[in-house]
Chains A and B, each alone.
Chain A
Amino acid sequence: MFLAVFGSLLPFEHWTFVYEDALGVTPFSPGHILGTDNNGYDLLTSVIAGTRMSIFIAITAVGLGGLLGSALGITAAFIRGKVDLVLSTAFNVGLAIPNLVLALALVSVLATNVDMTEVVPIWRRVTVLVISLTIVLIPILGRIARGATLTWSGREFVTAARSMGMRDMQIIRKHIVPNVLPALIAVAFLAVGVVIIAEASLSLLGVGIPDGGSWGGMIARGRNDLEYSPHVLYIPVIFLAITVISTNQIGEVLRGRLDGRESKV
């Protein structure tokens, strides 16, 4: 209990700290506070740019995935019948391939260039990453939304609302979404952490953001000269870990509160 409260306070500091940096506000005086790497890049500015990129990708992908996934999941569970069968099968198909394998396959296929020597522009890589990670997330979040909707739509108040002549869309908006949403938000925070790591893994494998554009890219670059300047590697890892710890903690706390509410019901 003490840890839950204390832990939720701590990472909040990290979050805002990271966020301010991402906006480009550097409260320190000029110089290389975090040092430079062997190419002479300042690590502080790199890590700031990397933070912006990684967090942007993670939040966009989770946002899109959550939106589409929950819409599909709620629809499936609410309409049932054939629609549910089709959507559930689609979710299962998506889940049959381990997440990272699916993301890897999608990214590598979508980012293929006609001419191998031509450099893929960065915006296209970002778009491809976001799309791929979104596709990976849809079945995961969709299934959770479907499960949650199924339990809620069986409750008495939904039957009551229907007998009162409420239309389906109204029931979904008024009764289902408010109940399903908290669970999804908690999961979404956990998903942000997962996506950040996934993006870093993809960049490390050379199909994500190249040349230190994101945390994963920085780690990939730091890998090349880890014997002589290991700090190039440590710094993005530390930033990444702190962010993931924060999102996980927030997700856990939210989930914990939710469970508390559920058990009282």
Chain B
Amino acid sequence: MYRKGIMLLLSMLLLAGCWDERLYKNASVVTLVGVDGYIGAYKGYYAYPNTAAQQNEVIEADGISPRDVRNQANLKVEQTLDLSELSTILVSDQTVREPLYDILDIYFRDPQNPISIKIAVTEGDVKPFIELTKDLAGGAGGYYERFMESTEENTIFPKLDLQTVGSMLFEQTIDIALPYIQLSEDKKHAVAAGVALFSGQTFTGTILTPKQSLTMLLLMNQPSKQARMSYMWKHDGKSMPITADVIHIKRQWTVNEELKRIDMDYLIEVEIEEFAHDHLYKDPVFKEVQQLIQDHVQGEFEEVLRILQGQQSDTLGIGRYIRAYHPKMFQKDWPAIYASLQLVPSVQVKIIRTGVLR
């Protein structure tokens, strides 16, 4: 008798319902989020696929905080927005002049949001960037994700995802450089326009061009699958282009504490990819080409370091290095100290391969 009663009770429990059930067919899967505005008056854009028409729909909403924006957007959709398949976040460059973490907190706190997603800063308003994904057959977020991943492979964007960005936002010893995207003229594509420099949690306003951001990544010792540099070589009155691909970097930083000077020695090994003049086996040609590349790279390094120091943006991680190995030099007010350091790069370029031809 008791057994029957207990069985009945238990089975009633089971029938009560599944509290955490989130049926896939009932969710609008948002893959791309755009944030615009400033604290107190945010605008949000959410792109999710419309399976019947093979298109993406964009929902726009206002609110006082990112979460509030989403709640407002939920009033406009037929199936509740679900952000667990998010793959990209786009933020406009006006919004990031405020501390970035305020916008991102919700993505870290909610356990259902993925944090291995990409984040990028857009030139101007976010809206046209999101609208251009409307006609894409695939997922909206997937387009930007793949776009950024391929630019990462070309060593223009640094390899970041939301987790590493968040981690670096909490550290004083390193600053982030987020990918910066522009619209193409026909407003149908996104164009990689370099990186946006941050100092602490706010955007400094300065962008590094793609060439400069490649240099910055080389300074950080993070070359990716392709890192190509092209220069013009003047020889015998003719101009000829040379393209070199960075294969390997060795770097060594020597810190001189009294003089507050860091000697940064770089040994860059390249492979020549394009050189119509050929005949690299001839010693004078080889040496001249190598010297040319070395001079150019040295100049670029110095230029980028000047920009970084000027903006007090320590994207190279010099702060980390100093804090770990020379803790006495590291004080609380790191950005100011960083700006006053003397950074002396010295580059040595070696051509190790020349492709299949010589």
Q: Do A and B come from one complex?
A: no
